[in-house]
């Protein structure tokens, strides 16, 4: 049954829009009329409109909202929809009917539209995995391959539950890290704004009284005046140079050479290096465990995991491990040779391979590193707050000291 995007007016004159399936636009008009909606425009929800072809009307509005960050499909939205589909499939409802119910249930506009197109493709005879694969910005290779494995094994509902659990766990871990770093980030921004106002507005007025003094100013005061003068006279240079520097650094990091240097630097960073490594290992272990438990072949699973791990140094290790596995070697051996994975990881993987419980061992590794990440983030946050307060206090003390020292000299200065 075709899926339509529509706009209309309620009896109260309010504009409404949505997605609904109907035999034709005429049937859609009749169905909406029963719901008290007067149809003003209807168009088929074509797959190409979602893929990035020329868009008009509602499709363009939805995509613009997604590009600005207001209409994108979040991990939480995807996890909820996945769990709802798993419940419907487990209840014995046919796939097309389950997708129809899911389209009515989903509230997120972009996901609702995409699922409507997916339902139409499945209804035309396509597999669910192939229909989802046409929307790579929403459904990753991990998602599509697990769905394909579930369809092949006849355990689609079980795979969907695992996918929902995996997506929710990843979103929760990311939200915990972001939440823990939010307060220090706000303090940094507020501190920069306050210091900027002091240097541009307040300090020039205060230090103006020192211009007619026939004494040598302390070096701290001279530094303060120089910084304040530069900030006041060349503030536009700072506003242009800082964003340009950030933009240039980001462009360089996107090059192969820059990305390799940045990834190595992250892993070697004194405090945050181990945290970055733990996050990558946790994602590697959890993703590989989920894929293997869902019936995805080990070579395919390693190829997907290689793309999931964003650090190129660790990704290259996983790629070499995949090639070693293809040649008949175990997973643990190439990981051990690389020197990039801690002993706990390759020892537990080796035990899992010998005992036939590789998925369980990988899950244990993921849980262990996730808990370590949470503890380290909490410890770093607790440490960052007092450090930042001391740094901000030190900056304020430097400013106050630099202003008060010449004033104290005025009291002892006797002209000749």
Domain boundaries, the chain: 3-67, 75-165, 166-416
Q: Which of 98-107, 298-307, 378-387 has the lowest mean pLDDT?
A: 378-387
Confidence class for position 7, pLDDT limits 50, 70, 90: confident
Q: Quick check: 79 and 168 in contact, CB under 8 A?
A: yes
Among the listed residues 360, 355, 349, 345, the one whose alpha carbon sits nearest the alpha carbon of residue 325: 349
Mind listing the pLDDT tens digit for each residue in 131-162?
888 888 888 877 888 788 788 777 788 888 88
Is residue 346 over pLDDT 70?
yes
**For position 70, what pLDDT does the model report?**
43
Average pLDDT score, the chain? 79
Residue 187 has pLDDT above 50, yes or no: yes
Q: Is the pLDDT of residue 332 over 80?
A: yes
Secondary structure of residue 139 in the 3-state scheme: coil
pLDDT at site 247: 92
Angle between helical axes of 57-67 and 109-123 (0-180°, round to 10): 120
For residue 62, pLDDT over 80 is answered with no
3-class state of residue 286 by DSSP:
helix
Q: What's the order of all strands across the beta sheet hosting 37-44?
A: 15-21, 3-10, 37-44
Nearest residue to 50 via CA among 40, 41, 38, 58: 58
Which of 48 and 272 is assigned the larger pLDDT? 272
Rounded to an integer, the average pLDDT of 378-397 is 80
Question: CB 94: neighbour CB atoms within 10 A?
Answer: 10
The strand pair at 3-10 and 15-21 is best described as antiparallel
Q: Is the pLDDT of residue 208 over 80?
A: no
Residue 60: is its pLDDT beyond 70? Answer: no
Residues 164-184: what's their mean pLDDT? 78
Integer angstrom CA distances of residue 268 from 142, 281, 317, 403 = 29, 15, 16, 41
Contacts of 159 (CB under 8 A, 6+ apart): 146, 147, 149, 150, 153, 294, 295
Could you tell me the pLDDT band of residue 71, with boundaries at 50, 70 and 90? very low
Nearest to 32 by CA among 11, 47, 12, 46: 11
pLDDT confidence bin for 66, thresholds 50/70/90: very low
CA–CA separation, 287 and 233 (whole Å): 53
Q: Which two tokens stand for residue 16?
A: 């409404």
Cα(109)–Cα(76) distance, rounded to whole angstroms? 14
Task: In whole angstroms, give the CA distance from residue 338 to residue 242.
Answer: 38
Segment among 68-77, 357-366, 371-380 with least mean pLDDT: 68-77
Q: What is the per-residue pLDDT for 219?
A: 84
Phi, psi of 4, deg, nearest 5:
-115, 140
The runs of H, that is alpha helices, within 56-108 are 57-67, 75-90, 95-105
Per-residue pLDDT for 81 more than 80?
yes
Which of 3.30.365.10, 1.20.81.30, 3.30.559.10, 3.40.50.300 would CATH assign to domain 75-165? 1.20.81.30
CA neighbor of 177 nearest in space, from 16, 11, 370: 370
């Amino acid at each position: 049954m075709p899926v339509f995007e529509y706009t209309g007016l309620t009896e109260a004159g309010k504009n409404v829009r949505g997605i609904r399936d109907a035999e034709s636009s005429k049937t859609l008009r009749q169905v909406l009329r029963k719901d008290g909606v007067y149809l003003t425009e209807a168009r088929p929800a074509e797959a190409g409109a979602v893929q990035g072809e020329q868009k008009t009307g509602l499709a363009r509005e939805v995509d613009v909202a997604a590009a600005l960050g207001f209409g994108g499909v979040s991990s939480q939205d995807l996890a909820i929809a996945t769990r709802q589909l798993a419940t419907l499939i487990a209840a014995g409802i046919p796939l097309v009917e389950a997708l129809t119910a899911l389209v009515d249930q989903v509230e997120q506009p972009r996901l609702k539209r995409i699922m409507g197109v997916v339902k139409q493709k499945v209804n035309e005879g396509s597999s669910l995995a192939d229909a989802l694969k046409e929307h790579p910005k929403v459904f990753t290779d991990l998602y599509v391959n697990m769905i394909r494995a579930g369809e092949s094994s006849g355990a689609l509902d079980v795979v969907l539950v695992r996918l929902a659990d995996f997506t929710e766990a990843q979103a929760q871990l990311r939200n915990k890290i972001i939440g823990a770093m939010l307060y220090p980030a706000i303090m940094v921004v507020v501190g920069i704004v306050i210091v900027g106002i002091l240097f541009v507005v307040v300090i020039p007025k205060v230090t103006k009284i020192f211009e007619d003094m026939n004494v040598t100013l302390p070096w701290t005061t001279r530094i303060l005046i120089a910084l304040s003068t530069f900030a006041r006279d060349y503030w536009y240079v700072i506003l242009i140079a800082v964003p340009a520097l950030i933009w240039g650094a980001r462009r360089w990091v996107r090059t192969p050479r820059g990305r390799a240097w940045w990834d190595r630097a992250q892993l070697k960073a004194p405090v945050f290096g181990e945290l970055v490594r733990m996050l990558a290992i946790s994602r590697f272990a959890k993703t590989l465990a989920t894929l293997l438990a869902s019936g995805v072949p080990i070579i395919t699973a390693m190829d997907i995991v290689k793309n999931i791990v964003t650090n190129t140094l660790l990704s290259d290790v996983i790629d070499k491990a995949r090639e070693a596995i293809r040649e008949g070697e175990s997973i643990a051996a190439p990981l051990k040779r690389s020197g990039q994975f801690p002993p706990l990881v390759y020892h537990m993987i080796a035990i899992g391979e010998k005992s036939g419980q590789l998925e369980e061992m990988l899950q244990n590794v993921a849980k262990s590193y996730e808990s370590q990440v949470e503890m380290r983030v909490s410890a770093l946050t607790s440490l960052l707050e007092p450090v930042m307060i001391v740094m901000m206090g030190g900056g304020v003390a430097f400013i106050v000291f630099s202003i008060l020292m010449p004033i104290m000299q005025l009291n002892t200065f006797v002209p000749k």
